[in-house]
Chains A and B, each alone.
Chain A
């Protein structure tokens, strides 16, 4: 524990700005991954434990596309679309076979997919660390804010995540399609009886949820080192986020992701070894006080 360092950082605006920007990008990445997880759980009632593997797939697809085209936009779109497609295939051929089975079956197939993905990445990209490097589009001077410096890419990342999150929220709450998806979450038989192809809709929702993990992976690729197994830590953290924010709530996921982001960024200075303990402690407290999460509704299924 080094609380003195934490206080001295908080009192210097340069350090505070740097840490806040770090907190925001951690939070936004987690928000992207967790909102996908939350969407899939909210509508399909399954917990996609393979979500971290999808995040990793997104990062690697973006990495290879960027190597081939040296266009970050292409890399970003390929990461999102590629992982969305993987999600649809995974839903159709694997997860749909264990709907309604106990959670352990779902856990097991997802565990299998994680193992397979990690080794596939090892085969294709090699076991060593990969660096994508900063795309040239973002080779701008960092923004100066109250004595601290924030890289231009961070600003883009935070903005892009917020726009995507807002788009997702609007699509679910304000459009006709969103209404159908919400109905599907509550009463799938009725939706089917109204002549809507629920099988297709399930696959689409799963695909969109997965694509969000792909987006997070693609956004993270320029700032993180890529390794097989990089999905595991983000999976655990996004679980904490979904549990704290409430399963199925996009806004809850945002709040909880920011909470975890700030804990991580400032904990790294004040109590580096106990950051995990702090996060799980918060999760336990939320579960004890309100098991459905800050903004979650009780799941009836």
Chain B
């Protein structure tokens, strides 16, 4: 990645963060703030999953395992009352990374659909442990008693605006980290593994180790998403780790785009908006949602963001046929 590209990313990230932080001051309705925190938590989950799905071609059905472990580890650490929020977050990320290392070491050796199934199996195993270990986790009632938010460094997350800004900052830091991975030589190695594993092998790439690396990173990022949600709802529930949560994250990726860096976020926003508005007009929102998905998959045959990007590029290409090559390069940079 070039230095100018990195500079551009940094500028975009700062502007985006400024916009995110400004929103609650312009539109003061608390429901909008709640909506955005929700989108950020689930968007981050979908983004982290896309490091596996879109970048490496590893279709994990069990990514919510790390989402739920993030939420519970963080919740339990905070309830113990011995650590401050930032310390608890760091311990949780490290702990989940360890968990992802153990699970990943077993999973990444399997190929294609078998990888999907074994990740699902591990996720449901963790879900069952949470349900069974009632004395620690509260079983199907979830982590009860709320998660305390003691002030640290003069920041009081009991204030809902402060909580929102904190979530926005954490969210943006994670996005920037993932963007660096997406554009790094490591990221391009992962694309090579996705597109042509044999060739990667001949070039001397240790495929297992690379896959394990991105599996651990994606798991750690998912734990941050889980922590944001746990902080926001002040609790943790076994549903965070049910297979439907993983399914929803996959759905967000497909709705947005798996190849565009911010595609999953777009998908998360679209899905939440769709659910929100459809449930206002009809109680049969599953029916409408299902028809919309069918229309997108059978009609567009790709994510909505993919479709829009391609449409813009086709228009550009039609306007300036001579510079097609140039736009192709620009596209590569934009991804």
Which chain A residues border B106 with CB–CB below 8 Å?
284, 288
A98: Cβ under 8 A from any B Cβ: yes
Bound complex: CA of A113 vs CA of B59, how far in Å?
A: 21
**Chain A positions 127 through 160: 1 when the CB is less than 8 Å from some CB of chain B, otherwise 0:** 0000000000000000000000000000000000
- Flag if A103 contacts B59 (CB, 8 Å): yes
- Flag if A104 contacts B250 (CB, 8 Å): yes
- Report the contact-size class of chain A (Cβ under 8 Å from the partner): 35 or more
A55: Cβ under 8 A from any B Cβ: no
B243: Cβ under 8 A from any A Cβ: yes
Of B111, B118, B132, B291, which one neighbours A284 at CB under 8 angstroms?
Answer: B118
- Flag if B124 contacts A276 (CB, 8 Å): yes
- Flag if A111 contacts B247 (CB, 8 Å): yes
- Flag if B298 contacts A104 (CB, 8 Å): no
Bound complex: CA of A276 vs CA of B125, how far in Å?
A: 7
Distance to closest chain A CB from B59 (angstroms): 6
- Flag if A283 contacts B59 (CB, 8 Å): no
Distance to closest chain A CB from B195 (angstroms): 13
- Flag if A112 contacts B128 (CB, 8 Å): no
Of A118, A123, A284, which one neighbours B121 at CB under 8 angstroms?
Answer: A284
Bound complex: CA of A98 vs CA of B302, how far in Å?
A: 11
Count of A-B residue pairs with CB < 8 Å: 119
State the majority secondary structure of interface residues on A. Answer: helix
- Flag if A112 contacts B114 (CB, 8 Å): no
**Chain B positions 245 through 269: 1 when the CB is less than 8 Å from some CB of chain A, otherwise 0:** 0010011011000100000000000
**Chain A positions 209 through 237: 1 when the CB is less than 8 Å from some CB of chain B, otherwise 0:** 00000000000000000000000000010
Which chain A residues border B293 with CB–CB below 8 Å?
108-109, 111-112, 115
Which chain B residues border A292 with CB–CB below 8 Å?
114
Bound complex: CA of A109 vs CA of B296, how far in Å?
A: 9
B110: Cβ under 8 A from any A Cβ: yes
Bound complex: CA of A161 vs CA of B158, how far in Å?
A: 59
B318: Cβ under 8 A from any A Cβ: no
**Chain A positions 9 through 49: 1 when the CB is less than 8 Å from some CB of chain B, otherwise 0:** 00000000000000000000000000000000000000100
B214: Cβ under 8 A from any A Cβ: no
**Contact of A274 with B132 at beta-carbon distance under 8 Å, contacts A105-B297, A115-B287 already known:** yes
**Contact of A112 with B290 at beta-carbon distance under 8 Å, contacts A277-B124, A281-B125 already known:** yes
Bound complex: CA of A267 vs CA of B104, how far in Å?
A: 28
- Flag if A287 contacts B110 (CB, 8 Å): yes
- Flag if B131 contacts A273 (CB, 8 Å): yes
A297: Cβ under 8 A from any B Cβ: no
- Flag if A119 contacts B117 (CB, 8 Å): no
CB nearest neighbor in A for B255: A108
Of B114, B134, B247, B287, which one neighbours A291 at CB under 8 angstroms?
Answer: B114
Bound complex: CA of A243 vs CA of B112, how far in Å?
A: 13
- Flag if A111 contacts B251 (CB, 8 Å): yes
Interface residues of A in 269-294 (CB under 8 A from B): 271, 273-274, 276-278, 280-281, 283-284, 287-288, 291-292
- Flag if B290 contacts A116 (CB, 8 Å): yes
B139: Cβ under 8 A from any A Cβ: yes
Of A109, A281, A287, which one neighbours B114 at CB under 8 angstroms?
Answer: A287
Distance to closest chain B CB from A276 (angstroms): 5
Distance to closest chain A CB from B91 (angstroms): 25
- Flag if A273 contacts B128 (CB, 8 Å): yes
Interface residues of B in 89-118 (CB under 8 A from A): 106, 110-114, 116-118
- Flag if A103 contacts B117 (CB, 8 Å): no
B307: Cβ under 8 A from any A Cβ: no
Which chain A residues border B112 with CB–CB below 8 Å?
103
- Flag if B251 contacts A120 (CB, 8 Å): no
Which chain A residues border B136 with CB–CB below 8 Å?
none
Which chain A residues border B301 with CB–CB below 8 Å?
101, 105
Question: Which residues of B are in contact with A by a Cβ distance under 8 Å?
Answer: 53, 59, 106, 110-114, 116-118, 120-122, 124-125, 127-129, 131-132, 134, 139, 243, 247, 250-251, 253-254, 258, 284-287, 289-291, 293-294, 297-298, 301
- In the complex, the 8 A-B pairs of residues with the closest C-beta atoms, listed nearest first: A277-B128, A115-B290, A119-B287, A112-B293, A116-B290, A115-B286, A112-B290, A284-B121
Question: Which residues of A are in contact with B by a Cβ distance under 8 Å?
Answer: 47, 94, 97-98, 101-105, 107-109, 111-116, 118-120, 122-123, 236, 239-240, 243, 271, 273-274, 276-278, 280-281, 283-284, 287-288, 291-292
